[in-house]
Amino acid sequence: MGLIRLIIIAALIYLAWRVIKRLLAQARPTDSGNPQIMVKCAQCGVHVPTPEAFSHNGLHFCTQEHQRQYLEHHDR
Ligand SMILES: [Zn+2]
């Protein structure tokens, strides 16, 4: 009787530990390894996160429209 209860408690602790470990593993990258790098739009000066920016020849733009406008004015 007592042994079965002990095994069930041990199994629950083991399962809880696995869940906690998984949660910690998921939380860690967002805590430290996710620096949001901001770049400045060469056309309007707005700062946008790199994944959302449009890049061209080392320049960054907040929208494809601004990239087009900038190149129209500076390419010639
Ligand atoms: Zn812009």
**DSSP string computed for the chain:** -HHHHHHHHHHHHHHHHHHHHHHHHHHHHHHHS----EEEBTTT--EEEGGG-EEETTEEESSHHHHHHHHHHH--
Task: Answer yes or no: do 47 and 66 share one domain.
Answer: yes
Task: Answer yes or no: do 43 and 20 share one domain.
Answer: no
Task: Answer yes or no: do 47 and 70 share one domain.
Answer: yes
* CA 41 / ligand 1 centre spacing (Å): 5
Residues within 5 Å of ion ligand 1 by Cβ? 41, 43-44, 46, 62, 66
Domain that residue 64 falls in: 38-74
Task: Answer yes or no: do 28 and 43 share one domain.
Answer: no
Domain count along the chain: 2
Task: Answer yes or no: do 13 and 28 share one domain.
Answer: yes
List, for residues 17-66, the tens digit of each pLDDT value. 999 999 988 876 655 556 789 999 999 999 999 999 999 999 999 999 99
Res. 14: pLDDT tops 70? yes
